[in-house]
Each structure stands twice: as C-alpha cells, then as structure tokens.
Amino acid sequence: MRTRVDIRPRRGSRTDMAEAEGSGGGGSGARPDMAVQRAELGPLLAMALMPGESWYLVDSRWFKQWKKYVGFDSWDMFGAGDLSLFPGPVDNSGLFGDPETQSLKEHLIDELDYVLVPAEAWNKLVMWYGCMDGQQPIVRKVVEYGLFVKHYKVEVYLLELKLCESSDPDNVISCHFSKADTVATIEKEMRKLFNIPTEKETRLWNRYMSNTYEQLCKLDSTVQDAGLYQGQMVLIEVKNEDGTWPGQPILAKSSTAASRNFTTSSESSASSYSSVSATSVITNCDSSNSYGLNSSHLSRGGSGFVCNSYSCRDNVSLSQPGLCGLSNLGNTCFMNSALQCLSNTPPLTDYFLEDKYEAEINQNNPLGMRGEIAEAYAELIKQMWSGRQSHVAPRMFKTQVGRFAPQFSGYQQQDSQELLAFLLDGLHEDLNRVKKKPYLELKDASGRPDSAVAKEAWENHRLRNDSIIVDIFHGLFKSTLVCPKCSKVSVTFDPFCYLTLPLPLRRDRLMEVTLVYADPKRRPVQYRVVVPMMGAISDLCESLSRLSGAPAENMVVTDVYNHRFHKIFHMDEGLNHIMPKDDIFVYEVCKQSVDSSEYITLSVYFREKTMRQSNNASGTVLFGQPLLISVPKHKLTVDHLYSVVLEQISRYVKLPLAEEYSATCTGKGTCNGSNGVVEGDIEEMEHQDGGEEVKDKLAEADACHSEGCMPVESARDLQPCKKQLFTFSLVNSSGTSEINSIVEGKILKLNAFSALAIDWDSDTRRLLFDEQEAQAFEKHGSMLQPQKKKAVVALRDCIELFTTMETLGEHDPWYCPNCKKHQQATKKFDLWSLPRILVVHLKRFSYSRYWRDKLDTVVEFPVRGLNMSEFVCDPRAGSYVYDLIAVSNHYGAMGVGHYTAYAKNKVNDKWYYFDDSSVSMASEDQIVTKAAYVLFYQRRSSEEHTAPSPPQEEYDGMDTN
C-alpha cells in the first residue's frame, strides 16, 4: 500500500500544552519529570531499524530544544529544567516546503535538518507536549536495500509516479509510492483511481522517454527492482471485449520462453502510446513483429525486466559514437557525470566494446557481484558508443547498482566520486582473473631497500587482484611512519585506485550579518564581515565593530528563525556553530549605565491574537522580527517595559495615530489578552479548558474580560485607563508556550534573556503596524563591494600538501611494535608508481559536527602535460607525463547542486560538455573552473614524450602502465 499517510495529530489541551515542566500536565497526558523522559526515550531513540516499521521525522531545532530542556545529553546538562527552554508542542513547520500541502523541502539532511524517532517515541512526545495544530505527523516506512548485505533505512522521500490510462494519456494523476511497494500495488491504485472493474484484464506500461515503453510484467516486483524513477509515467491498458489489446495488438501473444525479445514497432495502431511515428516497445513477451531486435546479452538473476532497455529510438546514425547523453532519472546527475568520465577513458571503453570482458567475468568471486555490474556496465557502454542514440536512460544500470550498493538506490543527490569508487571496485571484483585468492602474510620492511619491498608488495597485490581495473587504474603509495619515542621507522607500500588530494584550507570566512542598532530610529544594516575560519563569536563582534562603530562589548549575536530566537550565542562560542544558511542578527544592547545599574537583557516576540472560526477559540501567531531590549533591573515593571518596547518599535508603529487609539476600560478588571501560544506565519493554536494550576494562577483575574488592558493585582486598583497597543505574556524561549501571567505594580523577577511576548489584536496590528518599514533594512558598503577574487591553488600545491609529513591525531594513533603501545607518530605519504589512468579526487567537501561545507577554491590543473615525475620517489621510474581526458564537475553547495562532466572524445580528440541528456561542444579554456571535482588523466606513451624510460628488467611488474 502507499506510504503517504493522512493521520491527524493527537491534540491535547491547549492550556495543558502551555504548562512548563513541573506544572502538572501536558499534551494529552501527564508529562513525567525530566529524568523519566530521558529514561523512557533513551532506549527508544537507540533502537535499530526494522523493515516495515514506521518512523517519524522531527524538526531538529525542536528536538535539540527538547534535549536541552530535559538534559538529555550528559555533556549538556546546563540549563536543564529552565522554563525558558521549554520546547512547547512538537513543531515541524521548518521541514515543510509548502505549508499548505505540508510537502517536505527538498534536500533535507538527516541529523542536520531532522531526526528520526520510532513510533513509540513519537507517541510519547506528542502525549507529553502535544503537536502544533493542523500539522500532520511526517511518518515514513523503513525499507530494505541491498542484495547480499542487507541495509535498512527510513525512506524519507517517497517516489512520485504519474499515472494515466492508455486511452486518455492527458488525464494524469500524481501519486506517491514507497520503493518497497510492488507493481501490484500500483495496479490496484490505478484500478481504483480510474474506476476499472476487477473482472477487466489489464496490463501496465512505463514510459521512460518520450517514445519508449516497457511492459511491467512481474506484479510482485518492487518499485525499486522495476527501476521506476521519480516522475515516471505509468499507463494502464484495459483489454478489449474481443480479447485484443487496444495499444499493441501485435504484442498480445505471450510466451514463457527464456529468451527476451526487444520489439520496436513502427506500425503501431495505437496513437495513445506516443505522438511520435516511431515507438519503441520493450516487453518480456514473445513477438512476431518483423522489426525486432534480439538482446544479445541477458542479465543473470535480474529483476525480471529486460536489461537491454537503453534504446530511445530506432533511427540510425543520429550521433557520433560516445557523444551520447544520459537521462536524469531523478537526482542521478552524479551518476551520469561519473559514467561519462569512465565512458571516455579509452583503454577501459575499448576493453568492453571489444568484448574482452566476456572471457574474464568472475561469477564466483565472493567479493564481486556475480558479474552483473560488469555486464550492466558493458551493455550501457555499447549503447552509448553505438552512434544510434543522442541519449539513453541508464535505468537498469542504476537498478543493478542499487541492488549491490544500497546507498545509491534512492533518488537523493549522491557523490560522483563515491559512485566512481564503488564502480571501479565492483568492476574489478567482477572481472578479477584470480579465481582463488591465496593467503599472504604481510612482511615488514626490516631495513630492506625500498625497491625490494615495493616489488614484493606489488607482486603480492597482483597475486590476489588481477583485472583490467588493476591494469589501468592502480598505483602504489609509500607510507612512512616514525615513532616519536623510539624512532622506529615503519615503511609500507599500498596500492591505490585514485588520489584524494586535500585542498589548502581557507583561513578566513565571509559572513553576512544584520546589525540591529540600539537607536530605535535607525534601520537595521546588513554587513559582510571577514572572520577567522576557526574563530569565536567575539571575533565576529570585533570585526563588525570595526565596520559599524558599535562597541563590540554591547553586541549580542543571535540566530533568528521563524520570528523568534533559535539561539543566542555566548562570546566564547565557536563560529563553526553558525551554518552558512543561518540568519544571523546582531543586536546592540546597553549592558551597563552611568550609575552602574545592573541591566538585564530580555527577548521580545511579536504575536497576533486570532480567533478560530471552527470553535471560537482564541490563539496567537508569531510575526515580525524579535527584539532584544535592555532594562535596568530595578525598573523591571510592566509600565517601564511598555515604554521601552514602545520606543524600540516607534520607527514602524504609527505613534501619532497610536495616541488617538485609546479607550476606557469597561470591565471589572484588566488582564493579559491571550494565553494561547503558537509560532510561525501560518502556525496557529486554539485555546481549550484545562490545567488547574494555570486556572489557579489566573484566579485573581477571573472577572477580567476587557481585552488589551494591563493586569492589576486587586479590584481596589481599578480605574479608567488608556487602551494599550499590546499586552505582555511570559513565554518560553521559542515563544510556543506561556510560562506565567505578568502582574503589574511590582518589580518583575526575570532572568537574563527571559522571553516576553507582546500580543496585538488583529485590528491594532493592521491599523498601526507598518509591515514594510518593520522589514526594511539598509546595506552597508561591504555588501556592495565586489568580493575579492578567491585565491587560486595549483594542483601541485594539493599534491605537495598530500605528501607533507603530518603528526597523527590523539584519536588516530599508531601502534608501535617496539614500544608496544599506541603513539602519535609522524606519517608521510609518497608516490612510488603511478597508473596508466590517474584519477585525482579534489577533496572539496568537509564535515563537522555542526555543519557541512564545500570548498569552492579554484584549483588550476593542466589540460596537457601534467608532469608527475618529480613526485614519484622511485629513483628508477620512467617519465610520468599525463594529459587530461575527463572532469567530473559539481556546482552548488554540499548535499544539493548539480553534476556535469567535460570529456575528450577518443575518436576525434575534441572536448565535449555532458549535462545529463545534453551533449555540446566545449573548448579547453572552459574546463578549469571551481566546479572541478574529479580529474581523469591518461599517461602518455613512451613515444609521446622525449624523456627516456629506464630499463625495466630490475623491477619488472612494478610499472603499472
């Protein structure tokens, strides 16, 4: 069944939800104390995934707030139980791309944007805290990936298929399915959508290009095994009363024969399949059509669908061999980029085009994939180099890869280098000429010459690994470790398939921040500041102070999210806590006065009181930009707070009109207007009865019904008063739950950064609040100045950095056999021998606990004549001169963006740009960009360079060309 759910969240009492810990209740059940919450949820959050289970997505911002509130992490117990940290109802609004449909944003990242919790943990959180009104739970199934090694993961993004009837292809209905659903599930759903009676015989077809159809014959195959991809069209065809099929009568005859035929019909009687005259139809059924193409290579143990399903039209000589695009099957540009680079690696492509692989397929290698990856790759390469197609859809190749490497089976963006690593290793094991690998003991160098140890290491490697991949791509590292205590030197030689080169790290970082001045008449100003990459918040304030003139010691740095403060930073916190996408606002506040009065800084949120039509219950909605105000501790009264806030917002609140906006209180008392709490532009909560303790707290104001007036302590204080623009409520740090009412007439006991909400009724906000001016800001000259051209790094700089000696970290020590203990040794990599095809991976992506980043430094690399000889430490090695043949590019930020490729065609020696299905001419001066990610170099033969090669007999077998 489909995994899209439509379950309304369980709602608790609105007042219950608003109570803080210890107030006795919450959600729709009693909320236990913090220790019990930690004890109950800890084991649940550590549960392993099991196929078929339901897990729930929770916005990581809410979840982190909950963890802080209950002191979930032993290293973050500070502030546990602080009422200002109370998280309020579970709120997933930050995960929605469209608040109306509550569809997920694209490219959400696990742990960074959301956390996954099992059903029991979700139910407890909702029972204790409630859920934002109107939000549906985001529930997803655990699905199984992999063929040999089973791998489970939560399917966060469901697959969207476009469904239609073959008789009415314009009436398309989009539906979402799990990759674990079967084709039978799709058929059942289509029968229901299109009102097809159960007694009617049907068959399904998928359309994966404009005029190519494939019959989905195996109803028990999963969506994943069927190779269906995001946005694919699936048609359902109903059999005629006379027993014929309306679409392709020539295909009605079925067969159970083992052979699979490709049938390309140019005489189709059904225009409903395609408006193109030539339609390709791929079926598992026999056919008598005279225009058939028989598959020459069949997949073993496949999914039940024809593997040779790459053709997109039957025209001949449409393009030059190799100039064939690859259709994007839904976030598969990373795969297309990697495949184009490998396709344009001449020795590997020639090997497959000449069918040399057939004699070397190793179906019994336990480390291999039964030869299926090699066969799927061979079939795709033959299609790409046939010259008959301008582009093909590598569906079945992707399906095969997904069966063996579950991480590539979905439709989320992946890494082209990671796919390359998997593919080269998979092809190697599938084509390994060694049928039975011998057991070999590693020997220490023990003072022997490097040449002898290297030769031994290479020969041992070839005894277990002998394939076209080793012939072409493998080289040899020399690794030297030195113990800092006993000076023991350990030298080893290890094979490699590609070079991963570090990029010199930037020392500085550009940040865009908005400064909110203490002067209420000044608009906020946006600045671009330069800060140390590993600096602290204090460095940000110092840099901003130099540009703005505002004292750094008076600055408070905040992360504003959804109309409230997601985080208020301390001066000693690291800047690595701030991610590039965060909205950083720096507030200038007064921290001390002339008379040395102690100031306290408070958070202030804007809320609008609303009334729900459905049940006449009141609620609130956060709006606007939050404030930070500083007030002398001895003046913490409601009246003074009101005047301070009124002054702060005077720039965008129409005060002349406000003076006229007054009324006399007509009720018996006065009170805060609203106790309801919500967040976000579209988030709303209703007020319901509940929470005896809250009732007790408000008992003194029970008789008060006059909206908008300040609360008073007793009836004797009642007097006519001017109607206020807004009222105050004490709320949690997220503004989602009220902690207490605020009583006038005495000094308020508030802590630093306590959060207040100022509540406006809708009419007052509409009449007095200037939304446009409230959002207005100015740009400092630093924002308008062109950014300095980023430093250019030469490829040789990266190689030198790779071969530089380093000291191992304390968490990555080396076990010294002399000292008999782990030591922080020095380590140095050198290149001993290089392969015929040198693959260079530029390490652009970096990971940390707080963020993930991409280095977009321009690395200058030669298109011709890369001389690696100086970096090869074998004194008897030949000349290593390389020419570039392909580049995998990545544009955009980490986790998103787009992959393309540049590649040189081996037939005409011209460069081309491959962008999914598009192929265009390119020139050499276009190739070196900041997007370059993986470089492919081909070694020149001895005839192509003048440097003489040394005799080979002394180290025969070492040169990997």
Contact assessment for residue 377 and residue 438, using Cβ atoms and an 8 Å cutoff: no
Q: Is 873 a catalytic residue?
A: no
H-type helices in 661-794, by residue range? 692-697, 762-768, 771-775, 781-784
Measured in degrees and rounded to the nearest 5, phi and psi for residue 793 equal -110, 135
Contact assessment for residue 620 and residue 594, using Cβ atoms and an 8 Å cutoff: no
- 856 Cβ partners below 8 Å, 6+ apart? 790, 844, 930
525-532 and 508-516 beta bridge pairing? antiparallel
Is residue 374 helix, strand or coil? helix
What radius of gyration, in Å, describes the C-alpha atoms of the chain?
Answer: 34
Q: How much of the chain is helix, strand and coil, in % rounded to 5?
A: 25, 25, 50
Residue 101 DSSP one-character state: T
In order, the DSSP letters of 243-268 are S--SS-GGG------S--EEEEESS-
In order, the DSSP letters of 924-938 are GGGT-STTEEEEEEE
For residues 593 and 630, give the distance between their C-alpha atoms in angstroms, rounded to a whole number. 11
For residues 188 and 207, give the distance between their C-alpha atoms in angstroms, rounded to a whole number. 19
Q: What are 714's two structure tokens? A: 């007793």
Angstrom CA distances, 864 to 388, 745, 836, 902, stand at 31, 81, 15, 14
- Residues 151, 566, 577, 898: which is the catalytic one? 898
Strand order, beta sheet including 584-588: 564-568, 555-561, 584-588, 508-516, 525-532, 778-779
H-type helices in 434-586, by residue range? 450-464, 468-473, 537-548
Contact assessment for residue 599 and residue 615, using Cβ atoms and an 8 Å cutoff: no
Number of H helices, E strands in the chain: 20, 45
For residues 658 and 673, give the distance between their C-alpha atoms in angstroms, rounded to a whole number. 18
Find how far residue 194's CA is from the centre of its chain. 36
Strand order, beta sheet including 233-238: 168-177, 159-165, 233-238, 202-209, 212-216, 279-282, 261-265, 292-294
Other beta carbons less than 10 A from residue 482's beta carbon = 19
Contact assessment for residue 825 and residue 816, using Cβ atoms and an 8 Å cutoff: yes
Angstrom CA distances, 596 to 555, 624, 632, 634, 749, stand at 18, 33, 10, 12, 19
Q: What are 160's two structure tokens? A: 């969207």
For residues 188 and 854, give the distance between their C-alpha atoms in angstroms, rounded to a whole number. 45
First and final C-alpha spacing in the chain: 54
H-type helices in 22-142, by residue range? 34-45, 60-70, 119-129
Residue 90 DSSP one-character state: B
H-type helices in 687-770, by residue range? 692-697, 762-768
Q: Is 898 a catalytic residue?
A: yes
Residue 759 buriedness (CB in 10 A; 0-12 / 13-18 / 19+)? buried
Which position has the token pair 């197609």?
389
- Residues 324, 333, 541, 671: which is the catalytic one? 333
Active-site residue set: 333, 898
